Structure 1
Amino acid sequence: MEKPAAGMPIDGGHGENILLIRLKSLGDILFVLPALNLMRDNFPHARITFLVSSEYVPLLRGFSAIDSVIPIDRAIYRRKKIRAIWSTTLELVRRLRREKITLVVDFQGYGETAWLTWLTGARRRWGYVYRPGSAWAYTRGVEFPEKLHPVHRNLSLATRCGVSPKPIRNEFLLTEAELRPARWFFQEHGLDPARPTLFIQPFTSTLEKNWPLEKFLSLAGHWRQREAQVIFGGGPMERESLRPVREAGFPVAAGAPLLAMAGLMKLCTLVIGGDTGLIHLAVAMGKRVYMLTHSDDHVFPYGHPEWVVEASPEAGVADIEVSRVVEASEAVLREHLAGARAFAVSGCPGAML
């Protein structure tokens, strides 16, 4: 499957113009971040461009190793208007050609990205091969490893193509200006950034990964009774689903811009949710999280496989008991608040977090 690797530059990437491709989705783009930083560490003088679906362009502001971004409006392709598709594709290919790219790394490996990789005209083209039919697009095609965490999978693509291993950096950076909307949200809802705050992301992209909203509300109620602050996140399409949360008196940030949501998580003590991109974003910002997941899932908070509450093998995520999530969150708050402030825990008379 793998073709011979082209020689790696030894001058830090002077003259290299590198294109990285990962079109979607939120979590999968975040899983490329350590591989991006590895490429930057190996090619400190190269120009690095990221090709991504246009709705995720704001996310890449936190990827400090990127020099430029090329957005692609994938909604045009979903509308199936041939003329618009043709003109959009032609302009994209022209731009890719104008960039005079020397190396492409396709972290997606789908048919469309294989074609885009080939159409760049780059001398070196690396990518995962899901199906033998796409191997033609790459000068270095690597068989897709199924049972690796996506972060290690992306790092593996780079190292198997000749990039030298370096210390892994999973770092998403927010500026103070990008934190400002989160601070405004705290002020508007009477929240104190100095107090312990739990951020709950209740929904994922698939129903089987969701923990029931009523269980999240039980968890939120537990911590509100103990004077912790609780914020619920969510997308714009989830505002109506979150009505019970608003009626229960909890602040809801559904529909906030992505970086505003990132800022809220950055100001919080703990982030809890299912296997969703926001959980992985919180990890990349150095936040403590708990992910509610299946026991056989290979995706976990990167670098911290212990930061999970797993469903039993014969059960689903929805069957995880509230008491287990309460116990996990209490352990985190004890660690966070030790020596800072006394915080009584229900059921443990006299105990201090």
Structure 2
Amino acid sequence: MDFQPKKILMIRFGAMGDVLLTTPAVRCLRRKFPHAKIDFLVKSEYAPLLRGNPHLDVVVPFDPKAGLKGLFQMGKWMRTQKYDLIVDLQRNANSVFLSAYSGTSSRLVWNPERWKRWLWVYFRIRLNDYGRPVPLKYLLPLQLLGVEDDGKGLELYIPQEMHQRVEHLLKTSGVEEKKPILALAPGAGRNTKRWPKENYIELGKYFQRQGFSIFLLGGKQDKALCQFIKEAIGPDAWDWSGTSLLETASFISRASVMVTNDTGLMHMASALQKRGVAIFGPTTRELGFFPFRSFFVVVEKPFKCRPCSFHGTKHCIRGHFRCMKAISSQEVIHAVQKLVESENDRKILVRAL
């Protein structure tokens, strides 16, 4: 397609991991159109994940809680911008409405192929092209413009002042500078995606004895869980849950290794090219959300009941929760030790082809 857009708007409202998974598409689009103005429409709470991205011109915050009035105001604003192209990587009612209301005639829309996920999760029918990582799915509509995958991973840019703020916080809190850091992210959006807290406690205690400082990370909703684990581990365990997205990213950037469930912080660590262990239970690689082109190893069990849902559930639908309970603390300890001992071993790189 011989089309040279001068003003482009990309849309992905959330959530945290999904926004970070769009960054390869952002980068590749910029490489194809180096002189175009490329803006990004995203939920206000996730805007900090993109504000430092050098491939974007303007990050446009959107507040869905503003209701219909806010939706129409955003649509009117988009009309005034006269975008040549809209790339909708969300494809929900709001993004479809805004794209149409903007008056932009050229639109590319991501196809989430939910019916293929449905066939895989509930009938174990896997079509030949199913299982492609989500970042590569985001690139598919852009191929019509000649945009190609550059083979690189996710990106996240942390402002220097954020690093300085976190550095000051660590010093005033008494964290020892010379100790290596193990970051733990025990939370998740759904209960069944959480490795048992008792295992995180055992893991933290083991590496505490090995001379590590243990950082507990998560959102405000994870505060009680992180505080419980921190108290159980004891000295040299620090609860930094509930901090801002970029503060959390700065904490992760300081870690030697991260252990996380299948959650947004896993993708954040991937974007920062950190080494880590990802624990997967009800979800699997075929759903597209494995760590993307990063130094991660995945610990999982090959049970036939997996996957049992798209994004995890509140309770195990089969009542046994084997997929998580069967993963022992010792397995994860061994995986972390391997990463610590093999810092420059590129064999551990998870490649999603």
Instruction: Please indicate the TM-score interval, normalised by the length of the shorter structure.
Output: 0.7 to 0.9
The residue aligned with 1:138 is none
1:293 is matched with which residue: 245, 270, 280?
280
**1:95-244 map, 5 Å:** 95-129=77-111, 146-244=130-228
1:326 is matched with which residue: 308, 326, 333?
333
2:2 is aligned with 1:7: yes
Mean Cα deviation higher: 299-308 or 270-279:
299-308
Cα distance per residue 1:56-98 (max 9 Å; x no partner): 1111124221111222111233xxxxxxx2x212211111011
2:321 is aligned with 1:312: no
The residue aligned with 2:317 is none
1:120 maps to a residue whose letter is: S
1:69 is matched with which residue: 47, 54, 59?
59
Q: Aligned in 2, Cα 1:131/1:222: closer, same or farther, shift over 3 Å?
A: closer
**Maintained 8 Å contact 1:202/1:213:** yes
Distance 1:68 1:214 in 2: 44
SS in 2 for 1:272: strand
Give the TM-score normalised by the residue count of structure 2: 0.81
Distance 1:158 1:225 in 2: 50
Query: Over the residues paired in the alignment, what is the CA RMSD in angstroms?
Result: 2.3
Distance 1:238 1:35 in 2: 30
SS in 1 for 2:276: strand
Identity of aligned residues (%): 25
SS in 2 for 1:280: helix
SS in 2 for 1:240: helix
Distance 1:207 1:274 in 2: 11
2:21 maps to a residue whose letter is: F
**Maintained 8 Å contact 2:299/2:332:** yes
1:130: Cα distance to partner? Answer: 5.4
Cα distance per residue 1:174-209 (max 9 Å; x no partner): 222121232123213322344321000001111111
Cα distance per residue 1:3-62 (max 9 Å; x no partner): xxx5322xxx5xx11000000100001100000000110111111111111111111124
Distance 2:79 2:8 in 1: 12
The residue aligned with 2:316 is none
**Maintained 8 Å contact 2:258/2:274:** yes
2:37 maps to a residue whose letter is: R
2:57 is aligned with 1:50: no
Mark the runs of 5 or more structure 1 residues left unpaired by the alignment: 1-5, 78-84, 133-144, 339-353
SS in 2 for 1:307: strand
SS in 2 for 1:95: helix
Q: Aligned in 2, Cα 1:177/1:226: closer, same or farther, shift over 3 Å?
A: same
SS in 2 for 1:105: strand
SS in 2 for 1:312: coil
Give the TM-score normalised by the residue count of structure 1: 0.81
Distance 1:29 1:306 in 2: 19
Distance 2:178 2:51 in 1: 27
Mark the runs of 5 or more structure 2 residues left unpaired by the alignment: 115-128, 305-321, 346-353
Q: Aligned in 2, Cα 1:164/1:296: closer, same or farther, shift over 3 Å?
A: closer
2:248 is aligned with 1:266: no
1:165: Cα distance to partner? Answer: 4.2
Distance 2:52 2:130 in 1: 28
Cα distance per residue 1:239-291 (max 9 Å; x no partner): 22333223233210011111000000001111111111111111111111111
**Maintained 8 Å contact 2:262/2:278:** yes
Distance 2:149 2:230 in 1: 48
The residue aligned with 2:271 is 284
Larger Rg: 1
